[in-house]
Chains A and B, each alone.
Chain A
Amino acid sequence: MPRNFIDEHQIKLTVNDKIYIDAELYTGEKFTMLEPHRLFPVSGLMKYISLIDEEGNEQLIIRNVDNLLPESKEALLSCLNERYMIPKITRLVKRTEKFLIWMWTVETDRGEFTFEIINSYQSIKILYDGRILIKDGNDNRYEIPDLYALDKRSIKLILPDV
């Protein structure tokens, strides 16, 4: 089945239910309760958003969120922000290790939280653009947008693991 790439100017998006969105095309075709999924949740946050219906079938793909009309962009970003929870770490408060399990207490843009990292070699990844992605023992994700923008103590604590 050919993918339904949609011209960003020919679609109107409105929030349906926090994580769901309704879409109306220029042609008058309407879709309800679509779930936006990033096709590149790591490498391209604003590109290629797949809109999936309740049956799990992809209905539309938006190539670039930035090209949407302002109201539609706002609606889509609001849904994406609800769905994708990757807290951004702003400070490493505490880092302890016992039997190769690391406990990190961090300050994030969503508040303070403590999590464990089972295998630091597999769970902490530095990306090509300098971002650091962390996956905890429960498969939750965290991000450090720029290690060197953190305070000196946090850098010192994190540096050996990256």
Chain B
Amino acid sequence: MCVVGDLKLDGKYGESAILICADRIIAVNPQLPDEGLMLLFEDIAEAKVKRLYGNAIFRVKKCDGQTVDLLRFTYSATDLCDAVADFITKVKDGSDIDEQLEVVKITYNNLRCFCPKCGRKLASPEADCMNCKGKGKMAEVLFGYIKPHIKMLIVSIILSIITTAMALVPPYITKMMVDDIIPNKNMSMLIAIILALMGVYLAQYGLGALRAYLLRITGDSIIVDLKKDIYAKAQYLPMKFYDKTSTGSIINRINSDTTQLQNFMLRITQEAVVQFFLMIGIIIIMLVMDWRLALFSLIPVPVVALLSRYFGKKLSPMYRRLWRRSSSISTILADTIPSIRVIKSFTNEKKTIDRFSKYVDDWMREDKSAAKTASIFPNAITFFVTCGSLLIWFIGGHYVIEGKTDLTLGILVSFISYASMFYAPVNFFASLSDSYQNALASTEKILDIITAEPEHNFGAGNAPKFLEGKVEFRNVNFSFERSKKILNDINFVIQPGETVGIVGTTGSGKSTIINLLMRFYDDYEGEILIDDINIKDIDIDFFRSRIGYVQQEPLMFRDTIFNNIAYSLPGAHVDQVINAADIANAHTFISRLPDSYDTTLGERGVGLSGGEKQRLSIARAVLKNPNLMIFDEATSAVDSETEKLIQDAIDQVIRGRTTFMIAHRLSTLKKANRILVVDKGRIIENGSHDELMALKGKYYKLINIQSMSEKVAADKEAENFE
């Protein structure tokens, strides 16, 4: 196999390569002596990828102690080079070459998961490309939301056409009044005409009101559908999306961007159609009345079209920048408002206000710049349109004064009325680019969510009847970002019903192992199996429903205690909820609350202590009777007494279930059947408490350090009591 790097050894962009055979590696690089180097595996002591900042180096340490850099590359090739380094190490150690080659192939295929049509990266080789499924096309996406309301919109358009046609009547009647009725002093005709006009106005505005009502209902329905869809989509997006996207930005998309889009869609489907018919109707009437004047009145149209194009181009980037600023404001809000306690406790109100003001001022600056262009634009259009009217007055007035044509004063006045009506749609289409550019910026952000790759449910519908709870990690490698590898070659097997402790220093990768097991992240290398089935082949909803997950910081919703517990099993019977609370040692404190199970919790569970919230979260996990239990430092944030209560609850819960416990206090893991010690993303020790103590390795050291600090704390406490 061959790996091509995109950097030269001196860090400049350029190509170089390594060729890996069954027993040797050949590097081809103009910067190596003789432009190449061949090394036998038996001469290599260690092969590894050294991650730097924005790039990495494939280095080998030879048996004579000399280190050689063979390949340099940007992060795009790090995963593959990691696999190659593992390949060399394992083949050198006597592993089966075909088996190891297969591992490299899997890594390569994962990297090559591109849609053959559009080139977009896919989550896995089998995944559908969201873009090529048609969802990425803006017009198609938008039409999808308009389609269910098409009948309403058609009715609305018909009403619009009727009212528009009615709007064309009054100028014609003006002509009749000026040329016939008033000069001939025909009083009865005048009354009849005024009554007819009144009827026209009544119908026009009555139907207009009905149309406005229908439009509003339809518009609201469209926006509701859109908001629901974005929210629903957001629920199924992988954790990686949330790692990189701020909450404020997502809220902004669901709230203001959908409104922006709704306004635009209604303008397109309604006003654009009406204005188009109005424009055609007026052109026909004007041509019939006086074709020469009609042609003169068309003179400003090309100027308006050119201006529209010019301003549209100028406005587009402005609205994109404006969106960025607006999104930043939402991000600040989403960040600071829920953290108000922290802000107050550090008396940082002033600083927070200043920061917010800075972002709002930034927005204001961008808005001013956009406002300038957006304001000049319609007025420039109106100016040209007015010039068009003046032209008609001049030429038409000249014809009437000279009397050389059959153009009467009535026709001229009526023509001017039609001309000003004609410029309205011209103006509309010109200014459409402004709202189009604005909507375009919003649409892009909405599509960012709608077309984002959701969590893949490759095993949809595959729900094994019973899960025993055997868990296996096979050659698992993972990194959140390519700049740092978080898990490295993780291998272990847990038998059903075993309790496993995962220990290690902060940042060692303990929680990441759990995150992968929970399928929060799917883009890891290797396999995770439960009862010998790849977890990716099991229905994701079913799989997660079989896991009880208790986090370090339990999150409660703004709801009653009952509903917070029943959250894991909607429709749970009261007895079940009380039983779960009892198992979690929570029932006693709940029953002492004035409103007991009906107590409404504040935001994030405000009103309960950390230990109480933790026990509610255990009750929530227990209620669904899971096969696997996961406790992620569940007792680390509570005092010793509460820890005992929680620990008792945990002891009850884990019976007969495969359990993973990440624990800060190692004393809580003594009952674990097995302990995995994780360090720098690798499992360095694996065994029972006694075995690991006998090993006198990292676990032994951690236990000793903790025992010493606990002893010191106990002594101090004793001193204080004395």
Contacts and interface: CB of A to CB of B under 8 A. Distances in A.
A85 interface: yes
Contact of B52 (A17, A85, A161): A85
B74 A100 contact: no
Nearest to A103: B119
A121 to B, nearest CB: 6
User: Which of B53, B324, B482, B680 has the most A CB atoms < 10 Å from its CB?
Assistant: B53
B321 A138 contact: no
Contacts of B317: 159-160
Contact of B75 (A86, A99, A140): A140
Contacts of B573: none
A99 B445 contact: no
B423 to A, nearest CB: 32
A162 B325 CA distance: 9
Interface string B37-63: 000000000000010111101000000
A97 B324 CA distance: 18
A139 B53 contact: no
Nearest to A112: B13
Given A56-B680, A99-B451, A122 B244 contact: yes
Interface SS majority for chain B? mixed
A101 B54 contact: no
A138 B74 contact: yes
A98 interface: yes
Contacts of B119: 98
A138 B76 contact: yes
Interface in A120-144: 121-122, 137-141
A148 interface: no
B120 interface: yes
User: Which of B75, B327, B481 has the most A CB atoms < 10 Å from its CB?
Assistant: B75
Contacts of A150: none
B445 A121 contact: yes
Interface in A69-88: 81-87
A110 B6 CA distance: 12
Contacts of A41: 53
B120 to A, nearest CB: 6
A40 interface: no
Contacts of A5: none
A104 to B, nearest CB: 14
Contacts of A160: 316-317, 320-321
B54 A99 contact: no
Nearest to A81: B11
Contacts of B483: 139
A67 interface: no
A138 B50 CA distance: 16
Contacts of A113: 6, 13
A99 B136 contact: yes
Nearest to A83: B52
Nearest to B324: A121
Contacts of B13: 87, 108, 110-113
A113 B75 CA distance: 14
Nearest to B244: A122
A20 B327 CA distance: 42
Contact of A119 (B54, B75, B121, B245): B245
A149 B120 CA distance: 33
A17 B52 CA distance: 14
B100 interface: no
User: Which of A81, A112, A122 has the most B CB atoms < 10 Å from its CB?
Assistant: A122
Contact of A100 (B50, B320, B444): B444
A19 interface: yes
Contacts of A108: 13
Interface residues of A, number: 33
A41 B483 CA distance: 14
A119 B244 contact: yes
Nearest to A126: B324
A112 B447 CA distance: 31
Contacts of A139: 75, 481-483
Contact of A19 (B50, B320, B445, B447): B50
A2 to B, nearest CB: 18
Nearest to B249: A121
Interface string B108-144: 0000000000111100000000010000100000000
Nearest to B51: A83
A50 to B, nearest CB: 13
User: Which of A18, A110, A138 has the most B CB atoms < 10 Å from its CB?
Assistant: A138
Interface in A1-33: 17-19
Contact of A85 (B53, B67, B316, B324): B53
Nearest to B67: A17
Given A19-B52, A86-B53, A138-B75, A111 B244 contact: no
Contacts of A138: 74-76, 482
A140 B54 contact: yes
A68 B483 CA distance: 29
A111 B14 contact: yes
Nearest to B77: A138
B12 interface: yes
Contact of B76 (A111, A122, A140): A140
A101 B120 contact: yes
Given A85-B53, A141-B54, A98 B245 contact: no
Interface in B156-207: none
Interface string B476-503: 0000011100000000000000000000
Nearest to B129: A99
User: Which of B7, B67, B69, B74 has the most A CB atoms < 10 Å from its CB?
Assistant: B74
Contacts of A162: 321, 324
Given A119-B245, A122-B244, A100 B53 contact: no
A100 B244 contact: no
B481 A84 contact: no
B448 interface: yes
User: Which of B55, B57, B67, B69 has the most A CB atoms < 10 Å from its CB?
Assistant: B55
Interface in B455-514: 481-483
Contacts of B53: 41, 83-86, 141
A100 B76 contact: no
Interface string B240-255: 0000111001000000
Contacts of B74: 85, 138, 140
A159 B319 CA distance: 11
A71 B118 CA distance: 52
A98 B6 CA distance: 24
12 contacts: A19-B57, A82-B52, A85-B7, A85-B53, A85-B55, A99-B131, A99-B136, A111-B13, A112-B13, A119-B244, A122-B246, A138-B76
Given A112-B13, A141-B54, 20 more contacts: A18-B69, A19-B52, A81-B11, A84-B53, A84-B54, A86-B53, A86-B54, A87-B13, A87-B54, A99-B120, A100-B451, A110-B12, A110-B13, A111-B14, A138-B75, A139-B481, A140-B54, A140-B55, A159-B321, A162-B321
